[in-house]
Amino acid sequence: MTYLDMLSEKEIGKPKIEFVECNIKEWYLNHKEKDLYVVYGDEICTHHGIFKGLENLTDEEYNLFKSNKECFYNYGKMCNIGENTETCECLLSREYSSIIVEFLTNIDDYDIFSKVIKPILIDLNIDVEE
């Protein structure tokens, strides 16, 4: 049984999560308990943000989110054709580098946070917890 088979028509239409754009400074000061994502591609400018509502997903839904982030970025949920990789525009956009959504870091990711994010925050005169 697929994810879409498990949802009623009413649930399919209702977004479960929301991408909220924020820069690295805003993320650290206001949302550092959440994972930070980067969105980039040939058709858009690079930007950062968080997904609100991930904590409400079941394990199965979260695993689906991880492999279909572009659908959730575009629609806040799995799009109606998201499991058909030949026709899903969201997944095709990733394949052709039009729009790509990737996990960037979280506060517990020592390598990325300490080597990349922390120096940016220090340059912005933000007090960074040790």
Closest CA to 18 of 85, 81, 65: 65
pLDDT of residue 86: 64
Q: What is the C-alpha to C-alpha distance for residues 127 and 130, in angstroms, rounded to an integer?
A: 9
Structural domain span for residue 97? 3-123
**pLDDT tens digits, 56-105:** 888 988 998 998 899 899 888 887 664 555 668 888 888 889 999 999 99
Alpha carbons 49 and 38: distance in angstroms, whole number = 7
What is the amino acid identity at position 69? Answer: K
Q: How many domains does the chain have?
A: 1
Q: What is the pTM of this model?
A: 0.81
Residue 84 within any structural domain of the chain: yes
The answer as to whether 32 is a domain residue is yes
129 inside domain: no
Position 70 in a domain: yes
